[in-house]
Amino acid sequence: MRKITETHTGKIVSDTDLGIEYLYVGDYGKENNIKADFLGYTKRIEKVEHKPVNLADKLVVTVSSQKGCPMDCNFCDCPKFGFHGNASIAELVSEITTGIALSGIKHGERLNVHYARMGEPTFNPGVIVSARIIAEMVTMDGADVSFETYHPVVSTMMPKSNKNLENFLRAWVETGFVYGGEDGFGLQFSINTLDETQRNEMFRHRSLSLKEIGDIVKSLPMPKKRKYTLNFAVTSACNLDVDLMNKYFDKDRCIVKITPIHETVEAVREGYEIVTDFDVYEKFEKPLTEDDWDVIVFVPSKEEDADRITCGNSLIAHKSLLKKSKDMEDEQ
């Protein structure tokens, strides 16, 4: 049974039979929800107002690479669903194409596909295959559904237990060189803090150390136009010390993205501070920009967090969250 939950800018699909969840949403635009001095967006973001969006300008489809998640991060809802294996290549492609179909967009400017709903994508080599298949589908001349720009993004927690991790990352980057246009495929690393004790608590000792992550990032090919992203989902207690950032990571290869820890069921249960004061972001951002780091501060709207479209959320993991959804028959 598929349950479809309406959001302010799209829909969440929870397939309780297949054990996967995916969504599509629109985008408010960089001028409304990010501060990034290096891109020319320099204003403080005190509040992101909800407004109508044009899905044809930018459609974001977020999919599950796995059925549940084996990582058990303590701020994330997904592990509460358990872990039931990888999504197949066919399922991954279906998540993306169904998300596009539900949006109603036939021809658009930009399609972003984020492998970031449930699961650790580096455990699933089918992620790379599915990204290539979609590239061939939506960028082909005369295609029934097409987008001018296609940008898939992998977000990884860098699991210790993945013996194929470096091979996956290199294959992802190199596939992006061929199929990802001028930007290549996006690659984001979940870091959150430069304090190893804090990281071990957040990721329950399942993520590599900062040194190990930094060494792997430095071993990857130089990115194309778009650098690799170091994601910091922060509370005011997190550590983004500029000297440590320089110790572990290379500003010529990486940008820093600062967001709040999102208001998931588990984050609230664990007592995480949900940052709403821009001063907290600025405390982290300013020393980094002064040291010539490229920094993006991304602030979600109240509606986006309430809709549970942000990272770490999973309706299927907390069945009570599905009560507002409506049952839909399969349209496949």
Lowest mean pLDDT segment, chosen from 9-18, 77-86, 323-332: 323-332
CA-to-CA distance for 78 and 30, rounded, in angstroms? Answer: 28
**DSSP-assigned letters across all residues of 10-42:** SEEEEETTTTEEEEEE----HHHHEEBGGGTB-
Question: Is it the case that residue 329 has pLDDT exceeding 50?
Answer: no
Query: CB neighbours of 133 closer than 8 A, spacing ≥ 6?
Result: 89, 93
Q: What percent of the chain has pLDDT over 90?
A: 79
Question: Is it the case that residue 305 has pLDDT exceeding 90?
Answer: no
User: Can you tell me the mean pLDDT for 293-307?
Assistant: 91
Three-state DSSP at 84 gives strand
Q: Provide the CA 248 distance to its chain's centre, in angstroms.
A: 22
pTM: 0.94
Q: Report the pLDDT value the prediction gives residue 1, as an integer from 0 to 100.
A: 84
**DSSP-assigned letters across all residues of 149-173:** EEEEEEEE--BTT-TTHHHHHHHHH
Count Cα neighbours of 128 within 13 Å in the Cβ-side half-sphere: 18
CA-to-CA distance for 193 and 210, rounded, in angstroms? Answer: 9
| Contact between 190 and 311 (Cβ < 8 Å) | no
Give the residue ranges of DSSP H helices in the chain: 30-33, 89-103, 126-138, 165-179, 196-202, 210-219, 242-248, 265-269, 278-290, 302-307
H or E stretch covering 68: strand 66-68
For residue 178, with 0-12 CB atoms within 10 Å meaning exposed, 13-18 middle and 19 or more buried, which class applies?
exposed
Render pLDDT for 61-75 as a digit per residue (tens, 0 to 9): 999 999 999 999 999
| Average confidence score pLDDT of the chain | 93
| Contact between 191 and 230 (Cβ < 8 Å) | yes
| Contact between 301 and 32 (Cβ < 8 Å) | no
Q: Report the pLDDT value the prediction gives residue 247, as an integer from 0 to 100.
A: 98
H or E stretch covering 63: strand 59-63
Render pLDDT for 232-259 as a digit per residue (tens, 0 to 9): 999 999 999 999 999 999 999 999 999 9
CA-to-CA distance for 138 and 147, rounded, in angstroms? Answer: 6
Cα dist from 320 to 77, 144, 240, 315, 316, whole Å: 12, 38, 36, 8, 9
CA-to-CA distance for 208 and 133, rounded, in angstroms? Answer: 30
Question: Is it the case that residue 324 has pLDDT exceeding 90?
Answer: no
Q: Report the pLDDT value the prediction gives residue 322, as an integer from 0 to 100.
A: 63
Q: Report the pLDDT value the prediction gives residue 221, as an integer from 0 to 100.
A: 97
Q: Report the pLDDT value the prediction gives residue 274, as an integer from 0 to 100.
A: 87
Read off the pLDDT band of 325 (50, 70, 90). Answer: low
Question: Is it the case that residue 332 has pLDDT exceeding 70?
Answer: no
Question: Is it the case that residue 282 has pLDDT exceeding 80?
Answer: yes
Read off the pLDDT band of 59 (50, 70, 90). Answer: very high
2-327 adopts what CATH topology? Answer: TIM Barrel (3.20.20)
CA-to-CA distance for 48 and 63, rounded, in angstroms? Answer: 24
- Who wins on pLDDT, 318 or 192? 192
Using the 8-state DSSP alphabet, how is residue 50 labeled?
P
